[in-house]
Amino acid sequence: MVIESTLAKNQFIRIAISRHFQRLTFFFSAITCAGLTAFALFEGQPIFLLAGWIPFLLYIVHGVYSTFRAAGGESNPLFLPTRYELKEQALEIAHPQGQGRVEWQYFVA
């Protein structure tokens, strides 16, 4: 069986941003921000709003910026066509920049 695949730029952006928001670091930042926001609202100390929201927003902006920067350029190897050929003994992967072979014994069931 032969599979030919190409990753579109918008697919890459969508997957990368989704991964960014599923990392443990994002959840830690969100919980920290929520805790500092609750503390600031209940104690009446607005400086804690800045301490919680600035790092959280910087994390979000950094992730979106990194994603669009990585997606720049059509010569990125991620966007080139890739051919996967499933054979009896191995999976053969062909790419314009090279090719490889992975034996089935190296896959974990």
Per-residue pLDDT tens digits for 9-27: 999 999 999 999 999 999 9
Work out the burial of residue 3: count CB atoms within 10 Å of its CB; fewer than 13 is exposed, 13-18 middle, 19 or more buried: exposed
Question: What are 89's two structure tokens?
Answer: 């003994």
Residue 11's pLDDT is what? 93
Q: What is the pTM of this model?
A: 0.72
Please tell me the total count of domains within the chain: 1
Quote the domain boundaries for residue 76: 2-106
